A = this chain, B = another copy of it.
Amino acid sequence: MLDYVKNPYEIEKKSFEIITKELGNKVFPEDEGKVIKRIIHTTADFEYADITVIRDGTLDKAKDAIRKGINIITDTKMAMAGINKRKLSEYGVQVFNYVGDEDVARKAKEERITRSIVAMRKAVKENPYGIFVIGNAPTALFELIRQVKEGKSNPSLIVGVPVGFVGAKESKEELLKLDIPYIVTRGRKGGSTVAAAIINAILYMI
């Protein structure tokens, strides 16, 4: 049992070879393929090849945004933890998450709404043109979409991959109607690991 691959580069290389092979006839444009394969690498779930939607031109715009040092806002600490912040800092990009802030917690309790909603309002105020990464909370995505529609936010990119049974699917369908750069996993699936994988995939293309 101790005879296993211990070299991290070999592990990653072999993993992507297996994924490419098992995708078979499903071939994607180069950059898009890199995003989708990294999501599958993170989840071992090939359904993402069918449900991932990347709006035309989004990946080039996303790379530009990172090169310009546009900040990233995540809806969870987990997504924040999974993003390669060392590499982002080379471009001056900072990653923010407001969900643990005391004022956010207090306001959410008062209004009996999710902390994700309150955190998103704060995020939009501080970074109206940011890269928004939502891997968990449909309520965060709904709130962000509302702010975009009201002209209060014009995100450089929305990674909209909240997961779950109440609102996840619906929030993503709303995002697909917006005229901005987005990456979406349709339906119920998604998550913080998926969200982080998407940002890292873009980062590794630059």
Interface residues of A (CB under 8 A from B): 1-2, 4-8, 11, 14-15, 18-19, 41-45, 76-78, 80-82, 108, 112-115, 117, 138-139, 142, 145-146, 163-168, 170-171, 174, 187-193, 196
A11-B142 contact in complex given A163-B43, A166-B18, A189-B43, C-beta closer than 8 Å: no
A11-B81 contact in complex given A42-B191, A174-B1, C-beta closer than 8 Å: no
Nearest residue, chain B, Cβ from A192: B193
Contact of A44 among B81, B164, B170 (CB under 8 A): B164
Nearest residue, chain B, Cβ from A46: B188
Nearest residue, chain B, Cβ from A135: B193
A145-B193 contact in complex given A165-B15, A165-B18, C-beta closer than 8 Å: no
